[in-house]
Amino acid sequence: MKTPKLPPLIIKKSPSAFYVYTYKNKWDSEKKRSYRASFKKVGTVTSGEKEGRIRWDDHFLAERPELRDFICERKGKDYVFTPMNEGGFTLSQAMEVKQLHAGATWALDQLVAQSPIGGALKRAFPQRRDYLKVLSVAYFIILNQDNNISKYPTFAEATRLPWGAPLHPSSIGRIFRKIKKQQIENYFSAVQEGLIEQKKKAGDDDKLTLALDSTSISSYANKLPNVERGRNKDEDNLPQINLLMLVESKSGLPIFYRTYDGNVPDVQTVRRVIADNSRLGIQNVVLVSDRGYSGTKNINDCLRNKVGFLFNMKCGVSGSLTQDGFF
């Protein structure tokens, strides 16, 4: 089989990928030299790096149909062609075919597709398709009792994941270290918008019911932000971070979170969430919580900001709005 010939190509980097372009030279009579005058995109390097397999654009394949019979990879400055068989595999690939566990991750794929999660991740982490990497790590954490990240490569070797390429623990660390607070905010905002849009399409006029709860997370790292000594729910002699979340009751999706200093009481964190909710502009909301959040100040804040609430109240407590016999 004759190896295809390619026109002059150049690789250009965008914020999210490396693209392949053809170009034409034009002669500059004054400077007595040629220069690249026009470019046309013809493909994408699928690895997300300068080297790797090329996915040709449809218009380029229409012009050069012989490319359909080969896998093309960029190695260094060269383009290497490997013939494919009828099944679309090279001989070496066919010999390396392996079975992957896919049942559990397929089920997770369906849940992601039916919820705003996939779109929200793509909106928040578009660079180098990091949203697929983040989702793959989430699958690993969900499906493994021992979610020590050092075990991810072994899990990925035998499991079909959104990000199919190898991912070393150090690479995972770099991905999460470069996540900025604004990206997290963008993710939760996209989830909120997606949920509200789904409610509109379904003709659901009910209020958005949000379960509210917080927990403390003990930490050995005293230098992390928000790590302070306070009332430790785990009853260990460690400082902690307080994490509060709002979870949409029907879907179970978290749509809002905040971390607070470990010495901030739970009841005070709710007032901040109500204030943040007013800033976010989430309308038609009911907050549902268990004991510990039903202070008079929290209730007044809800009433003032037109936020519905269903709190577990204690009767007969000084300052409580509820007394025995009144509901």
Q: What are phi and psi of 127, to 5 degrees?
A: -65, 130
Spacing of C-alpha 241 from chain mean position: 23
Lowest-pLDDT range of 29-43, 153-167, 261-275: 261-275
The single-letter code of the amino acid at 103 is G
- pLDDT attached to residue 34: 85
Note the pLDDT tens digit of each residue in 59-73: 998 899 888 888 899
Alpha helices (H) along 86-221:
91-96, 103-113, 117-124, 130-143, 152-157, 169-177, 181-201
pLDDT bracket for residue 271 (50, 70, 90): low
Alpha-carbon torsion, ordered 119, 148, 169, 239, to 10 deg? 90
Note the pLDDT tens digit of each residue in 144-193: 888 788 889 888 888 989 988 878 888 898 899 899 989 988 998 899 88
Note the pLDDT tens digit of each residue in 88-112: 455 455 445 556 788 899 999 999 9
Q: Which residue has the tokens 């004759």?
A: 2
Q: Sketch out the chain's domains with CATH numbers.
A: 9-96 (no CATH), 103-177 (no CATH), 206-311 (3.30.420.10)
Looking at the predicted structure, is the pLDDT value of residue 304 above 80?
no
Mean pLDDT of 193-197: 87
- pLDDT attached to residue 212: 82
